[in-house]
Structure 1
Amino acid sequence: MNTQYQTNWIRAGLVALPVYGLLTAWSSLTPQPDAASDPEGWARFVSAPSYLVSHLVGSVGGTILAIFATFALGSYLASTRAGRLALPAMVVAALGHALLLVPATISTFATPALGQAYLSGSSEVMQVEFSGTMTFMFLIGLLLAFVGSLLLGVAMWRSHALPRGAAAVWLIGTIVFYPLGVVLGIATVNASLPTQVVGALLIAVSGAWIAWAAFGGRTARSSVPAPA
């Protein structure tokens, strides 16, 4: 296969990095009301068209872009001195994002239907509980995406192929987004926290920096061979 063709696809995937971060930040901007203490507020929130759009484009679309971008980043780093770490990190992160697609899709389409049913007078829908398997899948996906993203950040730092500043911002963004954002939000208010938005924006900044470097910006890639 033509090397330039592969390079173009990898660069396209790297451009998806900041887009994924921005979409994720946008989908996390407005925390949803607590369903237990404010069921009507929750029902109005999830049944609004803006909820469907933000989840379909931001959560689902952002996760799909994250998978594409993760493969591109791993492929970009594969021929560097950190290739042995980058490739398994790519697989772990992509698997985590793929698992997260399942609860994201269910939440996008099933939750608005429950909200509309409640507003129509069917208050018993608030007793509906999703399978514990979905919760388990979400937690495993979250863990894998976090660990894989951390390892990708370490691979970037070691590779000498991308600016270490971009790697540092990526690592900070990953920590702020996952444990200090998603996990802490679930454990405390059962909704997104501002740290989730900040973490996603840091990932977007790092992604833009990575894409800029890959397109010929100031980077230490001069001694690194192009993808084979």
Structure 2
Amino acid sequence: MPAPNTTRWIGTGLLGLPLYGALTLWSSLDPQPDPDTHYEEWARFVTTDQYVLGHVFGTGLGLLLAIFGVFALGVWLSTSRSGRLGLVAMALTVFGTGIFLLLTGVSAFTAPWEGRAYLAGVKGLSDLPSSFADRLFGALFLAGIGLPFLGHVLLGVAVWRSGVLPRWSGGLWVAAQVCMYVLGLAYAVATGVQSTPPTVPVGALLAVLGGGWMAWSVLRPTNVVPAFDGGR
């Protein structure tokens, strides 16, 4: 059996999951205006300090903590009944989150320049023809959305089947992803609004609850390290 310190390290890593949800919730409470319909309001919004802080410390730091949490979750699940599924889900989630983190950095530091240029009188920026960089950004955006969603859902399923974590913490984790990704995308398509959908804060709150439940179940004093069960 691993030393008790190992359990504490894993449990501490799992705290990245509810912290990711909390930071996502914070960053989504003040959504940016839709640049397609309110470009000047959008330009003013992205030039504020709150926009940069929200992206760097809200979205960016939240994603980094999610990566730590997902690694810890994959390790904890590795000797359970759903060990293989958990490790595959971990790899998908971390890879996709890394892609999305790259795009978040681009948005955090380029959008303010575009907003400042518009407010300074430089017109037509939004009407420039698309380039290879734009098309690549779009392709990476799809990967940065699809891979984490699939990975997170599989992680929730692995938690449900594992026998070493509360089943419904996995259910809450899956519900969080459905709210943030599926319902968020459906809202954007239905309304045509390019802004943070109202389903994202709901999903973030569910992530806080589900991730916090997982971390607590590992860190509580009566917990024991799961025995190896073949990683089925």
Q: What is the TM-score normalised by the length of structure 2?
A: 0.89
Indicate the SS of the match to 2:180: helix
Indicate the SS of the match to 2:15: helix
Deviation at 1:223, TM superposition (A): 7.6
Deviation at 1:114, TM superposition (A): 0.6
Residue 213 of structure 2 is matched in structure 1 by 209
Q: Which amino acid aligns with 1:224?
A: P
Cα contact 2:7–2:225 (8 A) shared by 1: no
Residue 198 of structure 2 is matched in structure 1 by 194
Deviation at 1:43, TM superposition (A): 0.4
Residue 140 of structure 2 is matched in structure 1 by 137
Indicate the SS of the match to 2:32: coil
* 2:25 matches 1:25: yes
Deviation at 1:24, TM superposition (A): 0.9
Counterpart CA distance in 2 for 1:41 and 1:50 is 14
Q: Which amino acid aligns with 2:45?
A: F
CA RMSD of aligned residues (A): 1.9
Cα contact 1:63–1:101 (8 A) shared by 2: yes
* 2:9 matches 1:9: yes
Deviation at 1:31, TM superposition (A): 2.0
Q: How does 1:12-161 map to 2 (within 5 A)?
A: 12-128=12-128, 131-161=134-164
Any gaps of 5 or more consecutive residues in structure 2?
none
Counterpart CA distance in 2 for 1:35 and 1:169 is 33
How far does the alpha carbon of each residue in 1:85-134 deviate from its partner, in whole angstroms, 9 at most, with x for none?
Answer: 10001000111101101110000000011101111111222335561111
Counterpart CA distance in 2 for 1:225 and 1:49 is 49
Identity rate of aligned residues, in percent? 40
Q: Which amino acid aligns with 2:136?
A: T
Q: Which amino acid aligns with 2:161?
A: R
Counterpart CA distance in 2 for 1:34 and 1:76 is 41
Cα contact 1:166–1:209 (8 A) shared by 2: yes
Cα contact 1:14–1:72 (8 A) shared by 2: yes
Cα contact 1:118–1:126 (8 A) shared by 2: no
Cα contact 2:188–2:197 (8 A) shared by 1: no
* 2:231 matches 1:225: no
Stretch of structure 1 that moved more, 169-178 or 124-133: 124-133
Q: Which amino acid aligns with 2:79?
A: S
Cα contact 1:185–1:192 (8 A) shared by 2: no
Any gaps of 5 or more consecutive residues in structure 1?
none
Counterpart CA distance in 1 for 2:153 and 2:161 is 13
Q: Which amino acid aligns with 1:178?
A: Y
Cα contact 1:21–1:201 (8 A) shared by 2: yes
Counterpart CA distance in 2 for 1:16 and 1:117 is 37
Indicate the SS of the match to 1:131: helix
